Chain A
Amino acid sequence: MEQDQSIHRKMIWTIGGGKGGSGKSFITANMGVCLSKLGVRVVLIDADLGGANLHTFLGISPPALSLSDFIKKRVSHLREVLIPTAVPNLQLLTGAQDLLNAVDAKSVQKRKLVRSIQSLDSDTILVDLGGGNSLSVLDFFLMSDGGILVVTPEPTSIENTYRFLKSAFYRRLKQSVCCSSVKALIDDALDRKNEMGIQNPHDLIRAVRQIDEEDAQRIVEEVKTFRPNLVLNQVRSKKDIEIGFSIRSACLKYFGIHLHYLGYVVYDQEVSRSIRRKRPLVLENSGSRAAQCVMEIASKLANSHSMANRD
């Protein structure tokens, strides 16, 4: 019974989208530290396939234990592969490859792993997904309680984020419909040069209506509940901050989805200085402007967590 409650209360946030270098790991690590300082028990999961190095952001040497020790049954409990950090309430779990393989597999093992993660003794889990775009990354993003996209105000970063969002969006729609011809249609829609002339989600819904009204309704419902979050990183001017609002409006017009602009982090030399020292910025220089920004975003996550618990 007790365990059920702890499963109920847990929030899993995934941090992904965009491309490498937009600051996902930096934000994940520092948000984790902030939350744990607020008294939230946090587990950070490093699922960045391209370059798993959350440990370095926390000043830990490459961990000897990983998720694969649990999967290969070298340890019996998932909590045994958790790595403690210098911060109380904050633990780290590594093993990107294994994690994503498991998500990919439609098996008992996958469900078992997800259940093990959910039963970990913590309040919040932050998963750093890296810049990947693979189906398993998308699935993890969609499975979480809240997906956070980290973007910098540059065209390349925004472009990649939209690509990620589009893939996640269509994947979510595909998972929500029943009719196999509708599923096939959604696959086709991802390719802008498709024969049906489907250019955007609006065209898609029109096409789906002609095949199956119920599925069309399912899609409409799905769009309403898909609410990813946005963090704009390395902001240098007021105009940059406004780009976040523009992204929000563009997503509403194009996808019909409500993207939540969670906040921004200003560009700050202190960030790279802290990374070189292998110390989280919010500990190393909590007065710096970037640290202040991360703290504000973390407190919002903590708030939404306590709101969810109140329900």
Chain B
Amino acid sequence: MRDGDRLQISQQSFHGQPRLKGTGMKDIRDQTYYEILEISPTATPKEIQRAYEHARETFHADSVAVYSLFSEEEVKGIEEVVEEAYRVLMDETLRRDYNQSHLPMPPMAEGQPTETSSEAQGIPGEEKPPLSFTGLSFDAEERPYRGKTLKQIRQGMGIELQTISKEMKISTKTLEWIEEEAFEKLPPLVYLKGFLKSYAQSLGLDPPKVIEEYLRFKEESKKK
């Protein structure tokens, strides 16, 4: 029954299913890093992170969704491009350079308002996150959400602790303790859950999953 409850995710979220970025009949070798990750050129680091995790989940040798369409080498090839795309797009400088050489027009080029608006229309559904589905996250067995993982993800997105602190009204110290896994200093469970929820939301992660795995990790380390 419990396990079943976890499946009670409303399919409402499917309504917001974004249109995948159109690559048409473009060969993988000709696709931009944005097309590889199925995101728009204006994607935020949060969106890139999520798209990357989805791509990693999808394109690997054991994935049931790909083995019968792609050869092993092809999957390996996609995996490599996905890693490279993630590396470049998550780095502000590299991304800027990449955009200049690979995108037809820099997103904010020319001050003419008419041009800007028509361009914006050319990218349908870009305001939507690449995968609106909250249940979507990487393999729990592989990388459970503990303090260190959360910190890595946050740093990968280039988000400062202060930003989350301000946005979510949580003291920087508490956030640090969460990341450093300083369990003895953390507030009582009820509050901790609330903090973890806010933290997860600010990184675009799945809150119930973050809370569950973080607390499980906390319990396990207590036993040791």
Contacts and interface: CB of A to CB of B under 8 A. Distances in A.
B23 A252 contact: yes
B87 interface: no
Tell me the dominant secondary structure on chain B's binding face: loop
Contacts of A278: none
A58 to B, nearest CB: 24
Interface stretch (B5-13, B160-168, B182-190): B5-13
Contacts of B22: 224, 258
A250 B19 CA distance: 15
Interface stretch (B67-75, B103-111, B114-122, B193-201): B67-75
Tell me the dominant secondary structure on chain A's binding face: helix
A228 interface: no
A262 B57 contact: no
Interface residues of A, number: 47
Contacts, number: 112
A289 B7 contact: yes
B4 A242 contact: no
B20 A153 contact: no
Contacts of B26: 202, 256
Interface in B131-174: 131, 133, 135-136, 139
A220 B24 contact: yes
B27 to A, nearest CB: 4
Given A162-B68, A243-B64, A263-B14, A258 B20 contact: yes
A140 interface: no
B83 to A, nearest CB: 15
B28 interface: yes
Contact of A246 (B7, B12, B65): B65
Contacts of A239: 139
Interface residues of B, number: 42
Interface in A253-267: 253-254, 256, 258, 260-264, 266
A168 interface: no
A185 interface: no
A236 B133 CA distance: 17
Contacts of B78: 253
20 contacts: A162-B68, A202-B27, A219-B25, A220-B24, A223-B24, A224-B24, A242-B57, A242-B133, A243-B64, A245-B54, A246-B66, A248-B20, A250-B69, A252-B20, A252-B23, A253-B70, A254-B70, A261-B17, A263-B11, A266-B4
- The list of the 8 closest CB pairs from A to B, nearest first, reads A246-B65, A246-B58, A202-B27, A159-B68, A296-B11, A256-B25, A238-B135, A254-B69
